[in-house]
Amino acid sequence: MSREHRVLVTGIGIVSPLGLDVKTTWDGIVNGRSGVDFITSFDTEGFDTHFAAEVRGFDPENYLERKDARRMDRFAQFAAVAAQQACKQAGLEPGSVDPYRVGVIIGSGIGGISTLSAQHEILLERGPKRVSPFLIPMMLGDMASAQVSMVTGSMGANYCTVSSCSSGADALGQGWAMIRRGQEDIVLAGGSEAPLVPVAVAGFNALRALSRFNEDPSKASRPFDVQRDGFVMGEGSAVLVLESEESAKRRGVTPLAEIRGYAATSDAHHITEPLATGESAAKAMTKALKEAGVDTSEVDYINAHGTSTPLNDRHETMAIKVALGEDAYRVPISSSKSMTGHLLGSGGALEACICIMAMKHSLIPPTINLSEPDPDCDLDYTPNIAVSKELNITMSNSFGFGGHNSVLVFGKPDLAR
């Protein structure tokens, strides 16, 4: 068997509720700014929840050709723009490398639901002959990945991972595995989601999964707080350029981080509720750390899944304790969803970027709105204010409806192996 290749991150791109690029998003994270506010994209009268973490001020025609932008669902627009940012940082231009050695994997839990919702209304109001011929190619879940491929000229493997809220993390994990075994030199991997349409908000409300803290939306996402009452829906995209060490050296690009390990497990338990013991999520953490060759004593920071739902935060706390033992009480943890909301299938990719930026800037992001910790959530969740600390190894948890548990481990690129 041929040797396994080290997998480096050489570029990142972000479109988020905190900003339309990496710098603005990270500034929001550092300063504990909430990206949650009242929904502006539709009239929320009659809904139980009136707020979300919207991407504001985004005009796709500022980044994409007008004709192309109009033939993309919003989730694909986000991904195309984030991928352009990531490629620019990585110095990756069309024609600069063998395009058949560049793959694309963009995860999405819901795909083009905005297009589907709008066209369904047209069908009901105006009849079947008025439905757009672009309905199908705009709503398909793989279209973010396809559009990224076209925008960047990437001609290697190209597909979408769909594993609910683990989709973005699994896209990174699969990209990591492809490069590791030599199938690709570079993979543009991440997630994208644009679910803020009436039917989706109504559906999550029907599940009683969303926060209903309409009095002050900026305080609605409160992971690990005793008053938490559900997650806050968000939208956006994050795309990372993953690259073999050999390719990065050939191109003379400076890496931002290394993906050290990835693992995924399934609860095999319930369509929405996590396994109460946390055993399966803990196993994903343990396996990812083993794959990374990292001891629990070496973990410097965990970006928790931390959704702000009563069950997730409690069970994730248990899982971290099972996986890390006594080190669970030592390791700083935070949930960036307290600021960005929950980007569903894109969340894991955005949080991977946050882990990388945290290492780069030696800073632990805060968990905002954490004023009264739940007694069952008794670990160090970095309440309200960012903390300076040298970080060499970081870990990101992503857990999804259906029992998906996906964990990524990152290290500084120059860390001794």
Cα(152)–Cα(96) distance, integer angstroms = 11
From the list 316, 241, 288, the residue with the least C-alpha distance to 393 is: 288
Task: Give the Å distances, CA to CA, from 245 to 5, 158, 251, 322.
Answer: 7, 21, 10, 33
Q: Is 62:369 a contact under the CB 8 Å cutoff?
A: no
The tokens describing 59, both together, are 């005009």
**Residues paired with 398 in a beta bridge:** 406
The tokens describing 301, both together, are 């920071």
User: DSSP state, 126?
Assistant: H
Q: Is 105:179 a contact under the CB 8 Å cutoff?
A: no
Q: Is 299:281 a contact under the CB 8 Å cutoff?
A: no
Secondary structure (3-state) at 104: strand
User: DSSP state, 57?
Assistant: S
Q: 10 Å Cβ neighbour count for 95?
A: 7
Q: Is 296:325 a contact under the CB 8 Å cutoff?
A: yes
- Tell me the backbone φ, ψ of residue 302, rounded to 5 degrees: -120, 125
Cα(52)–Cα(318) distance, integer angstroms = 28
**Residues paired with 90 in a beta bridge:** none
Q: Is 380:274 a contact under the CB 8 Å cutoff?
A: no
Q: Is 376:317 a contact under the CB 8 Å cutoff?
A: yes
Cα(86)–Cα(81) distance, integer angstroms = 9
Q: 10 Å Cβ neighbour count for 105?
A: 31
The tokens describing 3, both together, are 């040797």
Cα(175)–Cα(186) distance, integer angstroms = 8
> What residues contact 165, with CB distance under 8 A and at least 6 apart?
109, 305, 307, 342, 344, 345, 347, 348, 398, 399, 400, 401, 404
Cα(363)–Cα(328) distance, integer angstroms = 19
Cα(169)–Cα(201) distance, integer angstroms = 23
Question: Could you list the active site residues?
Answer: 165, 305, 342
